[in-house]
Structure 1
Amino acid sequence: MAGIKENTLSRYQQIAIDIANRIVNQEYPIGAKIHARSTVANTYQVSAETARKAIKLLADLHIVEAKQGSGFYVSSLNNAVNFVDQFKNVKTLKDLKHDIHQTMKHQLQEYKHLSEMMNQFLDQTQRFNTVDPLMPFQLELAAGCKHLGKSIGELKLWQNTTATIVAVRHNGQMHISPGPYAVLEAGDIIYYVGNETSPRRVRNYFAMASE
């Protein structure tokens, strides 16, 4: 049956729809005689009672009419079209509802997946910060930076930036734990540890003197 989900209808409705479709397709033109109930029952492999209910439904909708002692005849193409369209519209609404549910289900799955990835990202970030909090940052001091010519002790870097210098590369030589008397010069690279705000504060602290 074109356009109809059979499992949404009773058997006699399915038969009525199929006959109506045949009328719409001109297999049964206006005035054509519909087979007797026994023939309908045999054609669709149903009981005589089911066949009777199917033909009665078509008669109630004025798609066919009974002639005393003669049987049923096709009486209205328009009513057959309306009957078929009615169930097509029901199918369309059911399909739309199904599609909406499927889309919502898919979106919920995507949201769950995104939430899991976000939790994993936050967990990995926390693990990184927890496992390796002493991973040093670095900054090259360009000519014109503030505080050049000062010793590490004079800088009071921790008080101003929450960072601690752990090494200085000077003239290509790495000096680990340079101590408070090491003087910073242009071209030096400082290595320091601190929290997540330290890099911004250190950059601002050593910003160009003209900025």
Structure 2
Amino acid sequence: MEQGQGWTSSARYVAIASDLAARIARGEYKEGEKVLGRSSLAGRYSVSPETIRRAVSLLEEMGVVQVIAGVGVVVKSREAAKAYLARVGEHHALQEIQERLSVLLREKSKLETEINRLLEELLDYTFRASMRLQKIHEISIPSTSPLVGKTLASSEFRARTGATVVGIQRDNRIIFSPGAETPICAGDLLIIVAPDEVKERVSSYVAGTLVEDKGFGSFFDPGGTDTCVN
């Protein structure tokens, strides 16, 4: 590794230490032999003397070299150099795993965002498609209807007909989005949303002729109190 090519400023001293350790491990520098001076090393790797100092300090901490006053940097242990390289290799492997994991997590986040977007589009499309099949109908409630006096909840209107009451015209006003406890009164005009094929079922239900429902007769037995105020 010459001239420090490809190194980032923060990792140069580590890379230089690894290069020196590799040279020692290969036997280019023998134990007890003096390594080039710091100025010469700085020139070889095209870095500052401070960067060389940090690299040498790192190797000294690992027992690879020894700095002797008046002598310079001396090789201390070839085996320590090999151990240092093994440690650095494990660190690099761990670093690569962490970097790869970070990349995968970012990709996972992008995929989840895309999946959520597509799900929203699908739900929106499904809703719009279902609404195209729905139509608005108006059903009058005669005074003879067994629904008179019942609430939307107690009449189980939606469950028994498949239609949704979105409004009730009563006298000269319209009740928008009526609640479950809204009563059904004689003369009401129910505004419902339902497919065309449900309209006939709703008419039969309002008239009390939807006999195919089990328990239909008992459902319309009198006993409730008319909650409508005319």
> Cα RMSD (Å) of the superposition?
3.3
Percent identity over paired residues: 27
Partner-residue secondary structure (3-state), 1:34: coil
Superposed displacement of residue 19, structure 1: 0.5
Unaligned runs of 5+ in 1: 135-160, 164-191, 196-204, 206-211
Q: Does 1:114 align with 2:111?
A: no
Paired position in structure 1 for 2:46: 45
Letter in 2 for 1:54: A
Q: Does 1:97 align with 2:101?
A: no
Matched ranges for 1:1-211 at <5 A: 6-7=7-8, 9-66=10-67, 69-133=70-134, 162=161, 193-194=197-198
- Residue by residue over 1:126-184, the C-alpha shift from the partner in whole angstroms, topping out at 9 and shown as x without a partner, is 111212337xxxxxxxxxxxxxxxxxxxxxxxxxx859xxxxxxxxxxxxxxxxxxxxx
When residues 60 and 112 of structure 1 are mapped into structure 2, their CA distance, relative to the original with a 3 A threshold, is: closer
Counterparts of 2:98 and 2:69, CA distance in 1: 45
Partner-residue secondary structure (3-state), 1:65: strand
Counterparts of 1:98 and 1:87, CA distance in 2: 16
Superposed displacement of residue 22, structure 1: 1.6
Unaligned runs of 5+ in 2: 136-159, 163-195, 200-211, 213-230
Partner-residue secondary structure (3-state), 1:72: strand
When residues 26 and 99 of structure 1 are mapped into structure 2, their CA distance, relative to the original with a 3 A threshold, is: same
Counterparts of 1:100 and 1:47, CA distance in 2: 34
When residues 115 and 52 of structure 1 are mapped into structure 2, their CA distance, relative to the original with a 3 A threshold, is: closer
When residues 50 and 106 of structure 1 are mapped into structure 2, their CA distance, relative to the original with a 3 A threshold, is: closer
Instruction: Give TM-score, length-normalised by structure 2.
Output: 0.49
Instruction: Give TM-score, length-normalised by structure 1.
Output: 0.53
When residues 106 and 11 of structure 1 are mapped into structure 2, their CA distance, relative to the original with a 3 A threshold, is: closer
